[in-house]
Amino acid sequence: MSDVSPREQRIGTLAALGSYAMWGLLPIYWKRLSGVESLQILGHRIMWAAFFTLVALVATRRLGSLAFLFRDRRRALYALSAAILITLNWGIYIWAVNSGHVTESSLGYYINPLVSVALGAIFFREKMDRWTSWAIGLAALGVGIASILMGRLPWISLALALSFGFYGLVKKKAALPPLAGLAAETIIASPLALAFLVSRHAAGAGAFGGADGVATLMLVLAGLVTALPMLCFAAAANRITLTKMGFIQYLSPSLQLALGLFVYGESLKPPMAVAFITVIGAVSLYAFTRGERFRHTST
């Protein structure tokens, strides 16, 4: 991304680190909402994220950027594609966690950076030096062995990896303003989310406004909790390469794994142990060689 200044690239790197750190710590939040139906959590994430982003656009006097986006047919189609992809990703993830497939969903976020790197090479012709290739190969080997050890095709992992990988691609291709882009995506998905939530409340199964006041408040704040890392992600996607985004992304599943092991007392199963060890090795190799290259070019 030679057209992006070093300062903008630094901002993009910090934004990427922030987004993946927040995503890595989100299990703490969702753990408290485990008693709420998965699709209701998804519906509230969409609705309240749309609300908070709209409020932010009004507060910053940038509501016109949202109207401009919808008037631009090309960008509107990109926003529609992004809305479909992120809704699919959120839905699968919430379902997987609530259905006891945490290991397989975590594996998906180990695979996802490989998808980002591949998409960067295919669609943006992002070049990879030999050290990056070695790092990708090491990570791919670990994920491949982990998949084999699971004894079956990890469709949840692949669905999560592909949906979020292509979401990043769409965001980058469209170059949508971060705030207006997220607002557009969640607004597009809101009618279906609202219809579902209304139907659940009509059936007497709605969680919002029930006896658990804390859960109700957290469902409202789910929009803000969702919007913050998404906005950081969007800001990063427009400033740094997908290759760099791909490796920073390993921060999220690593934090999730650490929470599982040291906070929630989960055991590290062999497939995840293999993936974790090899991925950390790949990230270390990539980070070290990037540091060496930057030192040499700055002298």
pLDDT tens per residue, range 259-296: 888 888 777 778 878 888 888 888 778 777 765 554 44
Answer yes or no: is 87 within a domain. Answer: yes
- Residue 80 lies in domain: 6-298
Q: Indicate whether 218 belongs to any domain.
A: yes
pLDDT tens, residue by residue, 110-138 = 778 778 877 888 888 777 778 878 888 88
CB under 8 A, 24+ apart: contacts of 212-221:
212/35, 214/32, 215/32, 215/33, 215/35, 215/36, 218/29, 218/32, 218/33, 219/33, 219/36, 219/40, 219/41, 219/44, 219/48, 220/44, 220/48, 221/48
Contact 25, 255 (CB under 8 A): yes
Please tell me the predicted confidence (pLDDT) of residue 299. Answer: 40
Percent of the chain at pLDDT above 70? 95
Does residue 1 fall inside a structural domain? no
Number of domains into which the chain is organized: 1
Q: Is residue 97 part of a domain?
A: yes
* 126, part of any domain: yes
In order along the chain (299 residues), what is the average pLDDT of each group of 10 residues?
Answer: 76 92 88 88 94 91 88 91 94 82 79 79 79 83 84 84 90 80 93 96 88 89 89 83 77 84 81 83 76 48
